[in-house]
Structures are given as structure tokens and as C-alpha cells.
């Protein structure tokens, strides 16, 4: 009965989306039953059972030979390659060559034999497309009864699964971390994405095949044995294991006792070194107070999506309500809207590409997404980020986010700031980089301090990325008399105290950043600020410079700054960042003794490069960058800026900005600054910031007490 319900559901999918699948599979239906299966990337001649890799790259094959063609593994962990992936029509049938693959080189613009280790994920991409077409053929067979579709699907399924059965786990010659990650045909078990297509094909064809089921079990055992248990990987692995469990019969039908119930139990209850149960993972990863997941915003969406899919699967396959069994799932979906900026897209820190929340996730959970609204102020201390919004009007509202680095897929970024205004992330996070985690741009720049809006100490501030443990402490956070947040973080590399205060009004931001080494051996502190735009001007003349470089043991990231010019920061500097459509950010920077202001270009803001409708070509445009270098410590004389985003429909309200002198009247206050924003309508906004809760200072003849004082007159 359960199988019948499943087939009915899959046929419903076919009827709903069949026109999309049919358009692709129809192209091949008259090409013959083996046309697609013959173009799978397999070891057609050698039948080698084991692939040997050297770290993240293919190395060689074993000398043994299986009775049937075996799986060909991807060439590398990274997708980056100089070669173009060929269309299926360009492939010769049943091809395996010791020279590699005959591919078009995008750099030399010629065809050549590409060594497998240089082909990135081309092999995986080809096989994924063909197995998807096999599933599509099976859907069309269920819909039409046309045996041509059945034969295509059967040949793809049988050829591939025989290969799975005779393929052994790849072996890393370096005996390194990769050995714990590999799948049968990819360098990461989470990318064994052929599994759902092949399992669905098997169920749709309605057959029982002992070898195919043994092959699926072999595949599931490797997925369970490898991977990462404490983050989004666990759920992706669990989804594949569940898919395989769906294809199997009861445990009693197999001599080893490993059938449907066994693999479902791995997903739900059992715990191994690299595969945790759903309950163990959610208990570990979700903050019970905030229901926020312990990864960056982008990956938290992946996790919620996978959990929502399990809610659907448990309901349709097992007749159970997983939300009732694991209540944090629903709470997480409700809290998920707190990631949003006023453009209704998630924040961008860590390994994140901003995007809208996915309605289908909420549909699976039975939640009306349109009924959910973010609060003006939200903090997730366990994952060390916070956000404040003046509202959720895309064009009029302002917002800012602060994040440190706790959890998975996080960067070495100190106290990092994002600013939103006039419909854009005006001061954005840089993103992941174009070659993802294995690329030099990620390792050296995008994941490091200089790619973020933060302060780097002595050119050295750094710590491990990905699974980071560098939190900040929230010192204060409120919406009255203005919206503001103040946080503290210890820079572990230099043992430097760092404290950041961000104030937000309806029209502008104030940023005060204090930084000092605890040992007093400060050489310099660099304040990095990146803004969208294609044109940047400073109010002071600048000259070319070779400073801000990888020299003296500084971070490699400094090498990514270019077209550098500088000037002494001896007076207030006004920087303007202009966007082609008329939007602009204006920044007033307080003068500092023994300090230099730099204007420079840095790599493009990759994190926003995938968004549609941007006002210019983000991907191919460098990021406008301002750097303030304070020689010595930057605590008693902190970095102070005012930033105002404007547009044609939201004109500037600021006439000018002053930084009045502050007289300290107590003995314990070491740092005190004042910011006076003079508006065009005559109103004056005064903010006084100190580093002492019991401070007593005088500004323009008036006494102010405590860490933050605001006066509007």
C-alpha cells in the first residue's frame, strides 16, 4: 500500500512538472535505448574498482578489474577548471582513455587531452545530467506507458548501479582529511546527488533487483561512514540514506538484516562517528533560546530546507509528524525571518550568498510565510551576530548587522559590519570568492580580515575559518533613545581588545571602533571599509603609495589591494561612494594623530554577484575600499565615522559633521569621543561615547555621564 501511495505521488509530480522533464528526454527518445547510458562517465575498459586520490585531486586507478564497468570519480574536489563541460551530444559512447578527457580549453581556446585531475567536477556533472534524464524517462514511462522511456531509464539505472556495486571506497594517498569525506564518485559524500534520481527511477520502474538493492546498501554504508556529523552535511547525508531506505524491503528480507528499517533508523536514532541522528543534530546545532542554527545565514537556510523535506517525508512515508517530535524545527522556521534585511533577503556574512527565503520550505511546514515579520532588534549570542532595522521598507528603511565568528562556514573577520540603506547592502560582506573554499582567493582574501568591514591589528589578525570559535560579547543593545549596539571581542592572534559601537537613526549610521593590544606593543591598527559603487572620491588630495602590502609578515590579503593612494588623516575627511543609478554613500571620517587614510580597490563583492537587477556589473567591478591606518593603539583615539546612504528619492539630511573636543572629568575613562551631526533643517544630533560605564565628560560646556549619551537639539 505504501509503495502504491508513493507511485501515485511520483506520477503527480510527473503530471505537475512533466512538461519540463519531457522537453529534455524527448530529445533522446529516438536515439536508442542505450544512447544515454553509453555516455555515462565509467571505467568502460579498465573496470578499475578503486580510485586513488592525492588530497583533493584524482591520482590513479587500481590495477584490478571488476566483471562490469565501474564508476569514474570526479577529477577534483573543486569545480574550478580551465575546461568546458561538453554537451552529451559531444561525447563518444563508452569512452575511457588513459590520457584523460578530450575537452575544450577555455584559456587556450583549443581542444586537448585534459588529465582527469584538471577536469574539476565535469565527470560528476555529466553523470548527474544523465541520471536525471533517466529519472525523467521513468516518469514519462509511468505517465504514458511508452516502453521506449522504460528502456532508457532501465539501461541508465542498471549500468550505473552495477558500477556502484563493484566500486570500492576511494583511497587518499595522503591519508588526510579527504579520506573522511569522499563518496563513491565525488570528493564529498554530500555531492552524491545521483542518489535521489537513481532511487526514484528504481521505485518508478517497479522492479525488484537483488544486485541493485545491494549496490544501494553499499552506497548508503559509505555515505554513513564518511562526511561531517555536526553541520549541514549530516542532513544532506541523511537525505541520501533515507532515499535509499525508501527503495529497500524490510530488514527481514536481507541476510545481513540491513533493509528499510535499518537505514531509516540511521537517520532517526543511531549515532556513528560521522553520522548523527536528526534529534542529536538539532539538539547540537540549534540554540534553544533563539532557535538559530550554528552556521552562517546561507547554510542555515540549507539546513532548514533539509529538515522541512524530512517533515514532508516522515508524513508521506511514515505517517508521522516530525515537527511534533522535534519542536525546534518549527521554532527555527519562525526565527528564520530575523536574518532578513529590508530587501527581504538574508544577511551576507560568512559563506553566504544573500537570497530570499524559500516559500516551499514554509509550505512543507504548514506555515504562512507572509504572516511572519522580523523584529526591529534581534541578537543570536550563541552564534555571535545581531541585527537592527528601522523597518522593512526596501527603499526607505536602514539596517545594520554585526557578526563575529562562531559556528560553521564562518570567516576570520573580527567584529564585522554590514550596512543596508536605499535598497542596497551599501557596505557589504565580500562573499566566498569565485573558486569557493579550495581557491586561493578564498583562503587568502575573501575569508580574511581585510575583506570585511572590520579592524585588523598589526596586519596580523587572523584565526581558523570554517568552524570558528571567535565570539563577541554584547555590551549593550537597544532601540532608545536611538537604535544602537555595542560589542566587545578579543582578537586572539594579537591579544587585542576590540570594541565597536554602531548607532543608527532613520537617515545615517555612526561607527566608533576601539582597538588596542593588551601588551601595549601596538604597531598599527587598520580600519577597513568597503562600499558598493563605481566611483570613489576623497575630500583631500592623495598620492600613490606602496603601503598596505604583504610585507613584514602581514596577511596575504593585503596583496589583493591595488591602485592605492593615501593622505595624512590630519583633518576630517569626507568620502563619497557613487553608484551609477544615483544612489550614494557619504562618509565623514574623524581626524586622528599619527594616522593615514587610504583609498584603494579590492576584489569584487562576490557575495552579491549572483543577484539580479543590481545597478552595475558587481562581478566584474572592483570594490571601493577605504582604509584608515592608526599608528600605535586605536583605543584612546578610536576610529570614528558617520555614514549616510542617499538616493534621488531619499536626499541627504546632513549639512556637515563635527567632532567636538571632549574633556574627561573622571580618573578611569581612557577613551571618549563626540560626534555632532548638523542637519540641513538646523537640528543637531550629538552622540558622546566613552569606554567607562561611570564616565563623566564635558562637551561644549555640558556634562555627560556613562558610556553613551545622545542629545537632539
Cell of 448: 580574511
Nearest to 505 by CA among 487, 484, 485, 476: 484
DSSP state of 557: G
| Cα separation, 230 vs 419, whole angstroms | 31
Does domain 375-647 bear CATH number 2.70.98.70?
yes
Q: Which residues contact residue 177 at a Cβ distance below 8 angstroms, ignoring those fewer than 6 apart? A: none
Model confidence at 253: pLDDT above 70: yes
Exposed, middle or buried by CB within 10 Å (0-12, 13-18, 19+), for 410?
buried
Beta strands 634-646 and 654-658, pairing class: unpaired
pLDDT range class, residue 481, cuts 50, 70, 90: confident
Question: What's residue 523's pLDDT?
Answer: 97
Question: What's residue 600's pLDDT?
Answer: 98
> Residues 223-247: pLDDT tens digits?
999 999 999 999 999 999 999 999 9
C-alpha to C-alpha distances, 157 to 51, 196, 205, 558, 592, nearest whole angstrom: 22, 12, 10, 51, 69
Model confidence at 506: pLDDT above 50: yes
> Residues 110-138: pLDDT tens digits?
999 999 999 999 999 999 999 999 999 99
Nearest to 459 by CA among 546, 547, 542, 531: 547
| Cα separation, 644 vs 653, whole angstroms | 9
**With contact defined as beta carbons under 8 Å apart, do 575 and 537 qualify?**
yes
Which residue reads 541578537 in cell numbers?
Answer: 379
Ranges of beta strands (E only) in 433-592 are: 455-457, 466-470, 473-478, 483-491, 496-504, 509-517, 524-531, 535-538, 543-544, 562-568, 573-578, 584-589
Average pLDDT over residues 44-73: 98
pLDDT range class, residue 347, cuts 50, 70, 90: very high
Is this model's pTM higher than 0.75 or not?
yes
Which ranges constitute the DSSP H helices of 167-296? Answer: 194-205, 210-225, 232-247, 260-268, 278-285
| Cα separation, 711 vs 701, whole angstroms | 13
Cell of 38: 553509453
Task: Give the rounded distance of the alpha carbon of 164 from its chain centre.
Answer: 31
> Residues 631-684: pLDDT tens digits?
999 999 999 999 999 999 999 999 999 999 999 999 999 999 999 999 999 999
Exposed, middle or buried by CB within 10 Å (0-12, 13-18, 19+), for 542?
middle
Beta strands 535-538 and 573-578, pairing class: antiparallel
Cell of 72: 569514474
Question: What's residue 553's pLDDT?
Answer: 84
User: What's the sign of the alpha-carbon dihedral 608, 610, 615, 621?
Assistant: positive
| Cα separation, 654 vs 674, whole angstroms | 16
Question: What's residue 22's pLDDT?
Answer: 61
Question: What's residue 21's pLDDT?
Answer: 53
Model confidence at 438: pLDDT above 90: no
pLDDT range class, residue 3, cuts 50, 70, 90: very low
**With contact defined as beta carbons under 8 Å apart, do 167 and 43 qualify?**
no
Question: What's residue 448's pLDDT?
Answer: 98
C-alpha to C-alpha distances, 325 to 63, 287, 365, nearest whole angstrom: 50, 17, 13
Nearest to 453 by CA among 482, 485, 425, 430: 430
- Longest Cα–Cα distance of the chain, Å, equals 92
> Residues 558-613: pLDDT tens digits?
999 999 999 999 999 999 999 999 999 999 999 999 999 999 999 999 999 999 99
Share of the chain above pLDDT 90, in %: 95
Nearest to 536 by CA among 635, 621, 612, 442: 621
> Residues 6-27: pLDDT tens digits?
443 344 344 334 444 567 999 9
Question: What's residue 14's pLDDT?
Answer: 41
Question: What's residue 552's pLDDT?
Answer: 83
| Cα separation, 56 vs 186, whole angstroms | 10
| Cα separation, 298 vs 389, whole angstroms | 20
Average pLDDT over residues 356-382: 97
Instruction: Name the 3-class secondary structure at 695.
Output: coil
The DSSP annotation for 38-102 comes to GGS-EETTT----EEEETTEEEEE-S---SS-EEPPPSBSS---SEEPPPGGGPPTT---TT-EE
Question: What's residue 23's pLDDT?
Answer: 72
| Cα separation, 539 vs 509, whole angstroms | 20
> Residues 591-604: pLDDT tens digits?
999 999 999 999 99
Average pLDDT over residues 149-166: 98
**With contact defined as beta carbons under 8 Å apart, do 203 and 250 qualify?**
no
Q: Which residues contact residue 203 at a Cβ distance below 8 angstroms, ignoring those fewer than 6 apart? A: 3, 6, 7, 10, 246, 247
Q: Which residues contact residue 69 at a Cβ distance below 8 angstroms, ignoring those fewer than 6 apart? A: 42, 43, 44, 47, 94, 159, 162, 163
Which ranges constitute the DSSP H helices of 321-450? Answer: 322-325, 328-335, 359-365, 440-441
Q: Outline which parts of the chain fall under CATH 2.70.98.70.
A: 375-647
| Cα separation, 68 vs 446, whole angstroms | 45
| Cα separation, 249 vs 238, whole angstroms | 18
Looking at the chain, the number of H-run helices and the number of E-run strands are 13, 36
| Cα separation, 215 vs 225, whole angstroms | 15
| Cα separation, 558 vs 625, whole angstroms | 12
Cell of 435: 573558486
| Cα separation, 15 vs 143, whole angstroms | 8
**Order of strands across the sheet with 654-658?**
654-658, 672-679, 684-690, 708-712
Model confidence at 61: pLDDT above 70: yes
Average pLDDT across the chain, whole number = 95
| Cα separation, 13 vs 6, whole angstroms | 11
Q: Would you tell me how many other CB atoms lie within 10 Å of the CB of residue 453?
A: 26
Average pLDDT over residues 377-385: 97
**With contact defined as beta carbons under 8 Å apart, do 409 and 383 qualify?**
no
C-alpha to C-alpha distances, 515 to 217, 489, 548, nearest whole angstrom: 56, 10, 18
Amino acid at each position: 500500500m505504501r509503495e502504491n501511495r508513493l507511485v501515485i505521488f511520483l506520477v503527480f509530480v510527473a503530471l505537475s512538472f512533466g512538461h519540463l522533464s519531457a522537453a529534455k528526454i524527448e530529445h533522446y527518445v529516438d536515439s536508442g535505448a542505450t544512447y544515454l547510458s553509453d555516455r555515462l562517465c565509467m571505467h568502460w575498459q579498465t573496470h578499475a574498482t578503486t580510485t586513488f586520490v592525492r588530497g583533493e585531486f584524482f591520482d590513479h586507478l587500481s590495477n584490478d578489474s571488476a566483471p562490469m564497468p565501474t564508476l569514474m570519480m570526479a577529477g577534483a574536489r573543486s569545480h574550478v577548471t580551465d575546461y568546458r563541460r561538453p554537451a552529451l551530444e559531444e561525447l563518444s559512447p563508452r569512452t575511457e582513455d588513459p590520457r584523460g578527457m578530450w575537452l575544450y580549453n577555455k584559456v587556450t581556446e583549443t581542444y586537448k587531452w585534459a588529465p582527469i585531475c584538471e577536469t574539476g567536477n565535469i565527470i560528476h556533472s555529466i553523470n548527474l545530467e544523465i541520471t536525471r534524464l533517466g529519472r525523467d524517462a521513468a516518469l514519462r514511462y509511468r505517465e504514458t506507458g511508452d516502453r521506449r522511456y522504460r528502456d532508457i531509464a532501465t539501461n541508465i539505472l542498471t549500468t550505473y548501479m552495477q558500477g556502484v556495486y563493484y566500486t570500492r571506497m576511494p583511497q587518499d594517498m595522503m591519508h588526510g582529511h579527504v579520506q573522511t569525506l569522499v563518496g563513491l564518485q565525488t570528493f564529498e559524500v554530500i555531492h552524491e546527488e545521483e542518489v535521489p534520481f537513481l532511487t526514484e527511477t528504481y521505485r518508478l520502474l517497479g522492479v525488484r533487483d537483488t544486485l541493485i538493492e545491494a549496490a544501494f546498501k553499499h552506497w548508503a554504508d559509505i555515505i554513513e561512514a564518511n562526511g561531517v556529523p555536526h553541520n549541514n552535511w549530516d542532513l544532506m547525508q541523511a537525505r541520501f540514506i533515507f532515499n535509499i531506505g525508501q527503495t529497500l524491503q524490510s530488514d527481514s528480507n536481507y541476510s545481513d538484516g540491513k533493509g528499510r528499517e535499518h537505514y531509516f533508523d540511521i537517520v532517526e536514532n543511531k549515532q556513528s562517528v560521522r553520522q548523527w541522528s536528526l534529534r542529536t543534530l538539532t539538539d547540537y546545532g540549534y540554540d534553544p533560546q533563539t532557535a538559530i542554527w550554528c552556521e552562517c545565514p546561507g547554510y542555515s537556510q540549507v539546513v532548514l530546507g533539509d529538515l522541512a523535506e524530512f517533515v514532508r517525508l516522515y508524513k508521506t512515508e511514515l505517517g508521522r509528524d516530525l515537527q511534533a517530535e522535534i519542536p525546534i524545527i518549527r521554532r527555527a522556521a519562525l526565527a528564520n525571518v530575523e536574518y532578513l534585511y529590508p530587501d527581504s533577503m538574508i544577511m551576507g556574512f560568512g559563506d553566504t550568498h544573500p537570497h530570499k527565503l524559500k516559500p516551499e520550505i514554509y509550505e512543507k511546514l504548514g506555515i504562512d510565510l507572509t504572516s511572519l515579520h522580523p523584529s526591529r532588534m534581534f541578537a543570536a549570542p550563541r552564534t555571535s551576530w545581531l541585527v537592527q532595522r528601522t523597518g522593512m521598507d526596501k527603499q526607505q528603511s536602514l539596517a545594520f548587522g554585526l557578526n563575529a565568528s562562531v559556528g560553521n562556514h564562518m570567516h576570520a573577520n573580527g567584529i564585522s559590519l554590514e550596512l543596508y540603506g536605499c535598497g542596497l547592502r551599501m557596505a557589504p560582506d565580500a562573499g566566498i570568492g569565485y573558486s569557493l573554499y579550495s581557491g586561493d582567493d578564498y583562503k587568502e582574501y575573501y575569508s580574511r580580515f581585510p575583506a570585511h568591514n572590520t579592524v585588523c591589528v598589526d596586519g596580523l589578525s587572523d584565526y581558523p575559518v570554517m568552524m570558528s570559535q571567535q565570539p563577541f560579547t554584547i555590551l549593550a543593545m537597544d532601540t532608545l533613545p536611538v537604535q544602537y549596539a555595542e560589542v566587545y571581542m578579543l582578537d586572539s592572534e594579537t591579544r587585542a581588545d576590540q570594541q565597536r559601537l554602531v548607532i543608527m537613526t532613520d537617515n545615517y549610521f555612526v561607527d566608533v571602533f576601539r582597538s588596542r593590544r593588551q601588551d601595549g606593543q601596538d604597531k598599527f591598527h587598520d580600519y577597513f571599509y568597503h562600499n558598493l559603487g563605481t566611483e570613489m572620491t576623497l575630500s583631500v588630495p592623495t598620492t600613490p603609495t606602496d603601503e598596505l602590502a604583504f610585507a613584514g609578515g602581514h596577511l596575504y590579503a593585503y596583496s589583493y589591494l591595488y591602485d592605492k593612494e593615501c593622505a595624512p588623516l590630519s583633518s576630517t575627511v569626507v568620502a563619497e561612494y557613487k553608484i551609477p543609478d544615483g544612489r550614494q554613500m557619504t562618509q565623514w571620517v574623524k581626524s586622528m594623530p599619527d594616522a593615514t587614510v587610504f583609498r584603494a580597490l579590492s576584489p569584487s563583492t562576490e557575495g552579491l554577484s549572483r543577484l539580479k537587477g543590481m545597478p552595475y556589473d558587481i562581478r566584474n567591478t572592483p570594490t571601493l575600499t577605504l582604509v584608515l591606518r592608526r599608528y600605535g593603539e586605536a583605543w584612546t583615539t578610536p576610529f570614528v565615522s558617520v555614514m549616510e546612504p542617499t538616493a534621488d528619492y531619499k536626499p541627504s539630511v546632513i549639512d556637515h559633521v563635527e567632532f567636538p573636543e571632549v574633556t574627561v572629568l573622571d580618573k578611569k575613562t581612557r577613551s571618549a569621543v563626540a560626534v555632532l551631526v548638523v542637519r540641513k533643517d538646523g537640528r543637531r544630533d550629538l552622540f558622546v561615547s566613552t569606554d567607562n560605564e561611570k564616565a563623566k565628560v564635558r562637551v561644549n560646556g555640558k556634562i555627560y555621564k556613562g558610556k553613551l549619551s545622545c542629545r537632539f537639539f
